[in-house]
Chains A and B, each alone.
Chain A
Amino acid sequence: MHRCLRRLMIFGLAIGWLLGVCNDTARAGGPMPEEQLQGDLAIIVNTANPVESLSLTELRKVFLGERSHWPSGRRITLVMMEPGQPERRALLRDVCQMNESDFSRHFLHGVFTGEVFVSPKTLASPVGVRKFIFNVPGAIGYVRASEVDSSVKAIRVDGHLPADREYSLHLQPRAVQ
Chain B
Amino acid sequence: MIERDQNVAPATVLPRNRVPNAFSRYPSALLLLVVFGVELGVSMFVIRDVRTVSVEAQQMYARSVLGLRQIGELQYQAQETRRSTLYALTTNDSNLQVEYADQSREADRRVTDGIIAYLQQAGMPNEIDFGRRLQRDWSAYLKVRDEVLASILEGSTKEAVDLDLSGGVPSFERVRQDLDEIKRLYDVQASEELARVSASSRRSIVRLVGVVCFTLIFATFSVWAIQKSRMLGAVELARLQMDFVASISHELRTPLAVIRSAAENIADGVVEGKDQLAKYGSVIRNQSRQMTDLVNQILLFVSTRERRNHYILQSLQVSEIVISAVENTAELVREAGFVVEQHVEPDLPCVMGDLPALSRCVQNLMGNAIKYGAQARWVGIRAFREKSGHHGEVRISVQDRGIGIDKADLPHIFEPFYRSSAVRAAQIHGTGLGLPLARSIAEAMGGRLTVESKLGGGSVFTLHLPSVREINHPASARTPGRDVGTTK
Contacts and interface: CB of A to CB of B under 8 A. Distances in A.
A-B complex is real: yes
Interface in B150-169: 150, 153-155
A131 B101 contact: yes
A84 to B, nearest CB: 15
Nearest to B154: A77
Contacts of A123: 94-95, 98
B102 interface: yes
A123 B97 CA distance: 10
Interface in A68-111: 75, 77, 79
Contacts of B438: none
Contact of A131 (B98, B146, B150, B154): B98
B442 interface: no
Contact of B98 (A77, A135, A137): A135
Contacts of B366: none
B150 A132 contact: no
B148 to A, nearest CB: 10
A57 to B, nearest CB: 25
Contacts of A75: 154
A128 interface: yes
A119 B155 CA distance: 10
A58 B421 CA distance: 138
B107 interface: no
Nearest to A125: B95
Size range of the interface on A? 10 to 19
Interface string A110-136: 000000000101111100100110011
A122 B153 CA distance: 11
Instruction: Please indicate which of the listed interface residues B95, B98, B146, B149 has the most CB atoms of chain A within 10 Å of its own CB.
Output: B98
A117 to B, nearest CB: 12
Nearest to B94: A121
B286 to A, nearest CB: 131
A111 B146 CA distance: 28
A135 B95 contact: no
A139 interface: yes
Contacts of B146: 135
B149 A128 contact: no
Interface string A9-32: 000000000000000000000000
A138 interface: yes
Interface in B74-97: 94-95, 97
B94 A135 contact: no
Contacts of A137: 150
B154 A138 contact: yes
Contacts of B154: 75, 77, 136, 138-139
B143 to A, nearest CB: 12
9 contacts: A75-B154, A77-B153, A77-B154, A121-B155, A131-B102, A132-B94, A135-B98, A138-B150, A139-B153
Closest 4 CB pairs of A and B: A121-B94, A131-B98, A136-B150, A136-B153
Interface of B: 94-95, 97-98, 101-102, 146, 149-150, 153-155
